[in-house]
Structure 1
Amino acid sequence: MSKATELRAKDIAGLEKEVTDLLKAHFGLRMQKATQQLGNTSQLRQTRRDIARAKTILAEKKKGAA
């Protein structure tokens, strides 16, 4: 199952929690990169895209609920 399909199955509260978790993970990756500890820099790009994906689905659900 794709990431988008998994996100669409969640409710609004679940999506908001997912976004905050991804933001925390992204911050941690940025700190690792700044201290030269991050080996796989493609994780930054992937996490950034996951955040965008989750925010997009959250906005769609909020628009549909309103």
Structure 2
Amino acid sequence: MKAKQRLSDLKVMSSDQLEQEVLNLKKEQFNLRFQRATGQLENTARVRVVRRDIARVKSLAAQKRRESAK
């Protein structure tokens, strides 16, 4: 399991890398939801962390798109 994403690590990623990161986080989120539904989830706080990481990556990707449009 990955720890919370560091903003400095995300800022150096390209747009494609950020998109891939969102996909990876969404897969992890799906797996966590599945584990929670079947009663196998041990670290319930991870669901919240992953959700916030997705938002963080999407926000940074949108910011990069706005900067490149200028």
TM-score by length of 2: 0.89
Unmatched tracts of structure 1, length 5 or more: none
TM-score by length of 1: 0.94
How many residue pairs are counted as aligned between the two chains?
A: 65
Unmatched tracts of structure 2, length 5 or more: none
Amino acid of the residue matched to residue 59 of structure 1?
A
RMSD: 0.9
Instruction: Please report how far the alpha carbon of residue 4 of structure 1 lies from its aligned counterpart in structure 2 after TM superposition.
Output: 0.8
Q: Deviations over 1:31-57 (max 9, x none)?
A: 000000001100000000000000000
Distance 1:20 1:63 in 2: 21
Q: Deviations over 1:11-65 (max 9, x none)?
A: 0000000001000000000000000000110000000000000000000001111
